[in-house]
Amino acid sequence: MKIEYSAHMEHRLALRKISHELPHQIYEGSNERYYDIETGHTVATMSVVMYGKLREVMVAYDIEEQTVRLLTIHPLKEGQKENRLNSGRWRRLE
């Protein structure tokens, strides 16, 4: 599949000074994927070193035919993933 970055993703990478390869690495390497019922996007999460610390980071994406469009990236705050799972906002994908 072809992987593309949205304009928003490109903006976020520049604004947050995040490596351009990191979203792709998270998408490819994540063992945790969720469906976000609020946004309708799929989310991949993974622990990575960011800003000198080990952090859990999420990448939201959509799959359109033969293209994966990576939409946004951000580090998750403490407990944020658990809150989204417990509230039902995120549903684990098998």
Q: What is the pLDDT along the chain (94 residues), one digit of tens a residue?
A: 899 999 999 999 999 999 999 999 999 999 999 999 999 999 999 999 988 999 999 999 999 999 999 999 999 999 999 999 999 999 999 7
Joined together, the tokens standing for residue 22 give 């990191």
What pTM value is reported for the model? 0.93
3 state DSSP class of 28: helix
pLDDT at 76: 96
- Domain positions in the chain are 2-81
Q: Which CATH architecture has domain 2-81?
A: 2-Layer Sandwich (3.30)
Contacts with 79 (C-beta within 8 Å, 6 or more apart), sequence order:
none
Tokens linked to 7:
């304009």
